[in-house]
Structures are given as structure tokens and as C-alpha cells.
Amino acid sequence: EVLLLESGGGLVQRGGSLRLSCAASGFTFSSYAMTWVRQAPGKGLEWVSAISGGGGSAYYADSVKGRFTISRDNSKNTLYLQMNTLRAEETAVYYCAKGAINENYYYAMDVWGQGTTVTVSS
Amino acid sequence: SYELTQPPSVSVSPGQTASITCSGDKLGDKYASWYQQKPGQSPVLVIYEDTKRPSGIPERFSGSNSGNTATLTISGTQAMDEADYYCQAWDSSTGVFGGGTKLTVL
């Protein structure tokens, strides 16, 4: 069974940092691009960042560029999101999701984790 | 930055056909995907590459994409289809979601 399990969420002060992790199982992790998506309370989905299967290519939403860093450790089947200089409006559930086709496929995500909650206090 | 626009809500009677639109500049030149999200749950991919259904998604879900509009169509809508639906596309090395549409089956 393909599973994604996020962790690392919690309460952080505005301007603080947090690192999220996403542990993958049930598929060849390095063969798929991975994406982070967030959802503020009562709001819609917001694309945050994506990374290629090998980790050599990374993409970011303008709203997080320069503050967030996506990375992966294929030997540990784990995806990360380092979040710095957090803002109150970034309070959200953060989901990791698996690309649907291959290591460079970002157009759709076919498996999602249950999400981890990040709360940024002001 | 690229934007995708969806109607906030759509209503449909059980057994009827629901259509949810997603508009964006030259969206037809890009791949559109659709996700279903029920309250308290993670999103589920229901359509990718405009028209393709992942395994396990019922045949009543279909998609199209042309010009500036992608459409998710649910034929023979069932009560279990009541959910929020989001379109998504990829533009200039960035992913984009529409604002979401709440589908009510009544």
C-alpha cells in the first residue's frame, strides 16, 4: 500500500522556523516527483513547492520563495520542507503528495498524506 | 501570476449531471487535473491530464479542457459525490489551484 505520513507540524512564533517531514512507503520513492500543498483553515488548496525524483530540480510558489526549502533523502524515503521566517497567514495543514507518473511529473498528484498542522502565532 | 477561476458553488439533484468549470488564460494548452476533498479528509485525484481517470475512480467522473476552460463532469451524481472540488494546472514552473467549488447534491 502506498502511504505518505507527514510530521513536524506544531506551534511556532511568527518569524520562527519549522521543518516538516514526509515519510513514504509502498513505492519506489526516487522514481517520483513530490509536492507540498497547504490549506489554511476553511480555505482552499495552495500549491507550495515541488521537487524532482532525484532532487536536482525544485520549484516554489512566489509566496514562499527564499524562505522555504524543499529537499528529499531518497535513501530514507523522506521528503522535507524547511520553513523559515514564518508568517501568521501560513497557519495551515501541510500535505505532501506524490507525483502521478514519474520523477519529473508535476502536473497531478495521485497520493496524498493526511497532513500536518502548522500554527504560526502572532 | 497564473490564476484559475472556479464557481464557489454548484448544486445538482441526485442522478443528474453536474458540471464544474475552471477558467484560466489558455488553459487548454496545459494539463488540467481535478481533486475531490470531503470534510476532514485529504484531497483525492479524480481526473488528470484533462480526461484521464486514476484507477478506482468511478466512470461517472469525466473531464475536458479546451480554450480557456476545463470542465469536470459528474454523470448520475450520487450523494457521496458531495464535496469540494479543485482544479489544478502547471504554469511557468509553478503549480496553481483554483479556488474550489462546493458541490451540493440535493
Q: Along the 122 residues of chain A, how does pLDDT read in single tens digits?
A: 999 999 999 999 999 999 999 999 999 999 999 999 999 999 999 999 999 999 999 999 999 999 999 999 999 999 999 999 999 999 999 999 999 999 999 999 999 999 999 999 98
Instruction: Tell me which chain B residue has its CA closest to the CA of residue A5.
Output: B42
Instruction: Tell me which chain A residue has its CA closest to the CA of residue B99.
Output: A44
Please, are residues A84 and A67 in contact by the beta-carbon 8 Å criterion? yes
- pLDDT averaged over every residue in chain B: 98
Scan for cell 497532513, then name that residue: A115
Cβ neighbours, 10 Å, residue B1 = 9
SS3 of residue A111 by DSSP: strand
Instruction: Tell me which chain A residue has its CA closest to the CA of residue B90.
Output: A107
| Tens digit of each residue's pLDDT (9 = 90 or more) over B62-92 | 999 999 999 999 999 999 999 999 999 999 9
Q: Cβ contacts of residue B62 below 8 Å, gap of 6+?
A: B47, B51, B53, B72, B73, B74, B75
The bridge status of strand B83-91 relative to strand B33-37 is antiparallel
B7 touches chain A (CB under 8 A): no
A62: exposed, middle or buried (Cβ count in 10 Å: 0-12, 13-18, 19+): exposed
Please, are residues B84 and B20 in contact by the beta-carbon 8 Å criterion? no
Instruction: Tell me which chain A residue has its CA closest to the CA of residue B91.
Output: A107
Name residue A77's amino acid. N
* Contact call for A100 and B1, based on CB within 8 A: no
Which tops the pLDDT comparison, B15 or A122?
A: B15
Q: How far apart are CA A95 and CA B5, in angstroms?
A: 22
Cβ neighbours, 10 Å, residue B92 = 8
Alpha carbon B52 to chain centroid, angstroms: 12
Residues 12-31 of B with CB under 8 A from A: 31
* The three grid cell numbers given for residue B74, joined into one nine-digit string: 459528474
A38 DSSP assignment: E
pLDDT > 90 fraction of chain B, expressed in percent and rounded? 100
B35 touches chain A (CB under 8 A): yes
**Which of the residues A32, A35, A37 would you substitute to probe the B interface, choosing the one with the greatest number of B C-beta atoms within 10 Å?**
A37
B93 touches chain A (CB under 8 A): yes
Please, are residues A87 and A59 in contact by the beta-carbon 8 Å criterion? no
CA dihedral A83, A87, A88, A92 (to 10 degrees): -30
A47 touches chain B (CB under 8 A): yes
Q: How far apart are CA B69 and CA A6, in angstroms?
A: 34
Residue B19 has pLDDT above 90, yes or no: yes
**Which of the residues A3, A6, A47 would you substitute to probe the B interface, choosing the one with the greatest number of B C-beta atoms within 10 Å?**
A47
Position A122 scores a pLDDT of 86
Position A120 scores a pLDDT of 98
* Contact call for B95 and A61, based on CB within 8 A: yes
B14 DSSP assignment: T
